[in-house]
């Protein structure tokens, strides 16, 4: 079910999750935290679906939740080790500096992240190919500025959405825009679906 959270009245966030074929376990997991003008958001997608995928995604999220102050490279390495004996997972992490309107991003696999950049153009950093597996990996870190007050979208590959920029530029609030995206999703999806739609504060 969709959920609207007000994170210390700064970042507005609408979250949606629906398991493949409405199974008991969803293979996607997410975590977010706003603290000291920093916003951290993580989405992990365990390989496959069902309980084993859920375990992988949960392991990656829990290790990050336990140390949210770490830098993104450390988080990526910790999440990689956390799934070493499990099925594996895709992951994406952002940390936003809300005072400087700056994003740090790292990801591996097919999770997508979009927002409107400082120049008004759509920004969608590409993740490293592959997936977390416990094997030694090389992760990349990307930094960029965003347009204050912009919406952003992070989603697993279960969401197939055309014209992403139109949703991010919509004058509608986060809740109404989130419901519009929700309407594009099948009632009984063929894959786990998770998306997080947010809006950064104006500086």
Handedness of CA 24, 16, 61, 44 (dihedral sign): positive
pLDDT in tens, 5-21: 443 458 999 999 999 99
- Look at residue 9 in the predicted model and tell me its pLDDT: 54
150-199 pLDDT, tens digit per residue, is 999 999 999 999 999 999 999 999 999 999 999 999 999 999 999 999 99
Task: Write down the pLDDT at residue 7.
Answer: 39
- Find the mean pLDDT for residues 42-48: 97
Percent of the chain clearing pLDDT 70 (strictly above): 96
Task: Indicate the pTM of the whole model.
Answer: 0.93
Query: Which domains does the chain carry?
Result: 3-198 (3.60.40.10)
Cα separation, 23 vs 94, whole angstroms? 28
What pLDDT, on the 0 to 100 scale, is given for residue 118?
86
Tell me the pLDDT tens digit for each residue of 76-101. 999 999 999 999 999 999 999 999 99
- The partner residues of 12 in beta bridges, in order of sequence, read 6, 199
Q: Where are the beta strands (DSSP E) in the chain?
A: 3-7, 11-18, 28-35, 38-46, 89-97, 102-108, 112-116, 122-123, 142-145, 151-155, 193-199
Asked if residue 93 lies in contact with residue 33, where contact means CB atoms within 8 angstroms, the answer is no
């Amino acid at each position: 079910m969709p959920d609207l959270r007000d994170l210390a009245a700064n970042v507005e966030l609408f979250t949606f999750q629906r398991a493949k074929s409405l199974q008991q376990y969803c293979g996607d997991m997410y975590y977010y935290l706003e603290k000291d003008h920093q916003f951290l958001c993580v989405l992990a997608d365990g390989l496959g679906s069902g309980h084993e995928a859920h375990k992988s995604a949960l392991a990656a999220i829990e290790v990050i939740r336990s140390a949210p102050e770490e830098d993104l490279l450390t988080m990526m390495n910790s999440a990689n080790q956390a799934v070493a004996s499990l099925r594996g997972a895709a992951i994406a992490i952002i940390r936003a500096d809300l005072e400087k309107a700056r994003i740090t991003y790292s990801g591996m696999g097919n999770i997508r992240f979009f927002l409107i950049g400082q120049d008004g153009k759509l920004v969608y950093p590409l993740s490293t190919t592959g997936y977390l597996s416990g094997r030694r990996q090389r992760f990349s870190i990307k930094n960029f500025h965003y347009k204050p007050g912009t919406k952003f979208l992070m989603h697993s590959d279960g969401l197939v959405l055309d014209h992403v920029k139109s949703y991010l530029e919509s004058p509608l609030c986060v809740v109404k825009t989130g419901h519009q995206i929700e309407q594009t999703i099948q009632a009984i999806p063929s894959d786990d679906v998770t998306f997080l739609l947010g809006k950064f504060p104006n500086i």
